[in-house]
Amino acid sequence: MSDITLLRIFAVVSGIALGGAMATMTAKKKRKLAAVVVPLVATAVMVGQSILRGYDEGTALRLYTLAVLDLVLMRVVFSGWLRRQSERQTAGLPPQEPKLLHFLVFFPVFVGGVVLIAFCLSQVESLLT
């Protein structure tokens, strides 16, 4: 299996994971379908744009996969807070304003997630190629 084929598989799988994560944030069936389809379309557009512009497809696929998997990780890590916000909205209450602590937790988790996912992807890629 070539490097590019492996990266394409990673991108599609991460797009599906993001679709699943996004689908959990809505109750309506049409929105769930859109939540699954949009990341896959974004994958195709990103790859197409990279090819048309002559960019290195491998780098584009790696960055896309990294960004998407970090979004999925953030959805999982902050699922409790997001659920509470959804409950507030359902109850007709305004969303909770983020506090300084939220930001102090968010940014290290985000950056740490990027570093961890980049390391894991590089290890998996080196094992499989």
What pTM, to 2 d.p., does this model score? Answer: 0.80
Residues of the chain falling short of pLDDT 50: none
CB 110 within 8 Å of CB 74:
yes
- pLDDT single digits (tens) 75-95: 999 999 888 988 998 899 998
Report pLDDT for 42.
79
Report pLDDT for 4.
83
